[in-house]
Structure formats: C-alpha cells, structure tokens
C-alpha cells in the first residue's frame, strides 16, 4: 500500500515516513528541499532499513505535480506536509506564503481528483484557533481570524479542502490540527534542522545549551498564567507522526464518519516556557542560560488542546513524557556537532 508524502524530508514529514514504514506502508516522497536536506533520506534508512522513494518536485508546479501522479498510479493516499511555515517571515512575504502553500495544496488536490486518489491527510495547526476565549480548545471552538499570513494559509487550506469534499463524495480528507510539535527521533538520526537563527523555543533552547547561542530570551513573564510565562501544548514529534498513521488507516479502512474531519493533536496539557526550560534541565542535567525579556509581538497567552475527540475517535493518545522528549532532542542537538 503506497502513501505519497509531500514535504516528507521535512521535520514532521520525516518522522511520519519512519512510522509509516514501520507500520508496513510503502512511501514515496516529493519535496523541493526548500527547507530540508536530501540527507534526511539517509537518516530514515538508518532507522527503518528502507530508503523511501524520493522525487525533487516543486508542488506549486502544476504540470510537474500532475506528471508525478501520472507516473505513480499506485498511490492510495496522500499526506500533505509541504508548506512554508515561518510565521514571522510570512508577515514580510505574504504573497510567497499564499502562493506556495495554497498552490501546492490545490495542485495536489486537483491531481488527486483527476487520478482518483481518494484519501488526504492535511497538516493544519492550532494557529487556526488564535487566542481562544475558553480553554482547552475543542474541535468545536470557533476559529479566529488568523494573526499571520502563514496562519491564514492554514485557515484557507482547511476551507479549500472542506469545500472540495462537499462536492467530491468519493474523496475523504482529514485535517490534523497540530499544537506545538517538539523533539526528535530517539535514534537521533532525524530531527528538526532549523535554518539560521531559530524562531521556535526548543531549537533555540538546545542551541543555547550547547553553546551556539549565548542566551535564551524568555518572551515575557507578565502573562496571566501560573508563572507568568505563556502556556503551550507541546507534542512529541514521534507521537504526532503516529497520529498520521492512525489517520491514514482510518481513511484507508473507510472508518471515517464524514468525508471531511478534523482533529486536535496535542497532549491536552499546557506547559509554560519556564516549565519547559526546567524540564530540559532536569532531563539532561544541563543548565540553560536564559533571561526574561519583553513579550514577543503576536504571541498569544495560552493555548492547549482538548484531545478527547482524537483519543476516542482515532484511538490515538500522546504517550511520550516531556522528560523523554527533552532527552531525545538533546541527543539530536549533540549529534549535529
């Protein structure tokens, strides 16, 4: 059973490819390597013993995307990870983000429809909720107007998929709304490879711990949270990858209850920035040089998931304790020396 993974050399995609292979699926990846390296294939192969098929394709290229589907008529489902994802960059380059994220999605959907590939799993994000009034957020929590062009591409992508599914009754789509993915594979053969100075908390933290960065800035301790720093729902990337396998199986086995469904994928628990730093220090014995600075523009105060729907409907639950995630991500950071 062959699964097409777009963006499969990226951070979440590569971990998902491993879990798919370990669950017996054949995988073919297409990626234009704009934010990943071909060497990731070596890491995947080291873990699973199987080198996934790979094609370097820009999915905004409609003809190239169609040609891919022409040549691979054995694909049974698609997991669409390929997207640009830097929130801050998207504010300065809105057109690039809309162009890349929406065109790649529409090209993939168009070919899926033409070549009758019925099943799609889509990477969405808790960013679609913005700062919710009531926490934790359930799938019934209203989406807020997006705070960045990146976030808006997720809102718009969900809408494109929803509208298409209304008229394509033979197609099925399932969107996973990830909370904050962190960590690395326990083997340390794959993990997150941030380009330049990281924007996200965990790569900044591990780069500080190893001495690449001098100091981690904690963006604010005056929020309305127990220790004043913002709360997020940090989900281990391997747990997240496993959610994709469960989602694919649900679609392939026809167990979905509607032809468009969406699920929150998180732990159900909010952790503060300071709690994350202390969890890292406790798990690794390494002290992190950090300093409380002012708030970062655009940050929300708190968000975490109600994961009841994913737990009951998908039969999926986050399983990795935060200490283990921290150990894995530290091992990954050390492997990059």
- Catalytic residue numbers, as ranges: 150
Please report which helix (H) or strand (E) contains residue 79, including its range. strand 75-80
Token representation of residue 25: 């699926």
Which x/- pattern over 177-216 shows residues binding ligand NAD (rule: CB under 6 A)? Answer: -x--x-----------------------------------
Contact in structure between 14 and 81 (CB atoms under 8 Å): no
| Beta carbon nearer to ligand NAD, 292 or 309 | 309
Least CB distance from residue 80 to ligand UDP, whole Å? 20
Whole-angstrom Cα distance, residue 107 to residue 103?
6
**β-strand pairing of 231-232 with 271-272:** antiparallel
How far apart (Å, rounded) are the C-alpha atoms in residues 64 and 71? 11
* Position among 12, 47, 128, 288 found at the interface with ligand NAD (CB under 6 A): 12
Residue 146's binding partner among ligand NAD, ligand UDP, none (Cβ under 5 to 8 angstroms by kind) is none
- Residue numbers 269-298 binding ligand UDP by CB under 6 A: 273, 296
Query: Taking CB under 6 A as the criterion, which residues in 255-274 touch ligand UDP?
Result: 273
Strand pairing partners for 305? 137
Please give the helix or strand (H or E) that residue 276 lies within, else none.
Answer: helix 273-284
How many other β-carbons are positioned within 10 Å of the β-carbon of residue 31? 27
Q: Which is nearer to ligand UDP, 27 or 276 (CB)?
A: 276
- Joined together, the tokens standing for residue 156 give 């718009």
How is 193-220 classified by DSSP, letter by letter?
---SS--SHHHHHHHHHHTSSS-EEEE-
Tell me, residue by residue from 136 to 165, as one string, x for binding to ligand NAD by CB under 6 A and - for no binding: ------------------------------
Report the sign of the C-alpha dihedral through residues 79, 82, 87, 90, in that order: negative
CB of residue 28 to ligand NAD, shortest distance in Å = 13
From 230, 266, 268, 270, residue interacting with ligand UDP (rule: CB under 6 A): 230
- Answer with the entry of ligand NAD, ligand UDP, none that 123 interacts with (C-beta below 5 to 8 A by kind): ligand NAD
- The site that binds ligand UDP (CB under 6 A) totals a number of residues, namely 14
Which 58-117 residues touch ligand NAD, going by CB under 6 A? 58-60, 81-85, 100, 104
CA dist., res. 297 & res. 3, Å (int): 39
Within positions 25 to 54, which residues make up the interface with ligand NAD, using CB under 6 A? 31-36
Q: What is the CA radius of gyration of the chain?
A: 19
Q: Which of 86, 201, 238, 246 is in the footprint of ligand UDP by CB under 6 A?
A: 201
Q: Is the CB of residue 76 less than 8 Å from the CB of residue 2? A: yes
Q: Is 249 exposed, middle or buried (0-12, 13-18, 19+ CB in 10 A)?
A: middle
Which among ligand NAD, ligand UDP, none contacts residue 204 (Cβ within 5 to 8 A by kind)?
ligand UDP
> Which of ligand UDP, ligand NAD, none does residue 199 bind to, with CB < 5 to 8 Å depending on kind?
ligand UDP
Residues forming contacts to ligand NAD in the complex (CB under 6 A) are: 7, 9-13, 31-36, 58-60, 81-85, 100, 104, 123, 125, 178, 181
């Amino acid at each position: 059973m062959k699964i097409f993974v777009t963006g499969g050399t990226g951070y979440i995609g590569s971990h998902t490819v491993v879990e798919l292979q370990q669950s017996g699926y054949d995988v073919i990846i297409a990626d234009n390597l704009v934010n990943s390296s071909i060497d990731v294939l070596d890491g995947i192969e080291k873990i699973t013993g199987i080198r996934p098929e790979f094609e370097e394709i820009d999915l905004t290229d409609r003809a190239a995307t169609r040609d891919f589907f022409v040549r691979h008529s054995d694909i049974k489902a698609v997991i669409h990870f390929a997207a640009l994802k830097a929130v801050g960059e998207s504010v300065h380059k809105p057109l690039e983000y809309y162009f890349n994220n929406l065109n790649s999605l529409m090209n993939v959907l168009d070919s899926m429809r033409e070549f009758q590939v019925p099943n799609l799993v889509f990477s969405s994000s808790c960013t679609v909720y913005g700062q919710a009034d009531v926490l934790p957020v359930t799938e019934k929590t209203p989406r807020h107007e997006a705070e960045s062009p990146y976030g808006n591409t997720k809102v718009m992508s969900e809408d494109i998929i929803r509208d298409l599914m209304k008229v394509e009754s033979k197609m099925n789509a399932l969107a996973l709304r990830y909370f904050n993915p962190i960590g690395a594979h326990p083997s340390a053969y794959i993990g997150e490879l941030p380009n330049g100075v990281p924007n996200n908390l965990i790569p900044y933290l591990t780069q500080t711990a190893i001495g690449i960065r001098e100091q981690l800035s904690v963006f604010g301790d005056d929020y309305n949270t127990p220790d004043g720093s913002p709360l997020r729902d940090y989900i281990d990337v391997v747990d997240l990858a496993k959610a994709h396998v469960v989602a694919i199986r649900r679609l392939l086995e026809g167990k979905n209850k509607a032809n468009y469904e969406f699920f929150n994928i998180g732990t159900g628990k909010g952790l503060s920035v300071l709690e994350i730093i202390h969890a890292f220090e406790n798990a690794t014995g390494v002290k992190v040089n950090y300093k409380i600075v002012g708030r970062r523009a655009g940050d929300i105060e708190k968000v975490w998931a109600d994961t009841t729907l994913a737990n009951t409907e998908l039969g999926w639950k986050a399983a990795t304790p935060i200490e283990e995630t921290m150990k894995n991500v530290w091992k990954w950071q050390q492997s990059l020396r």
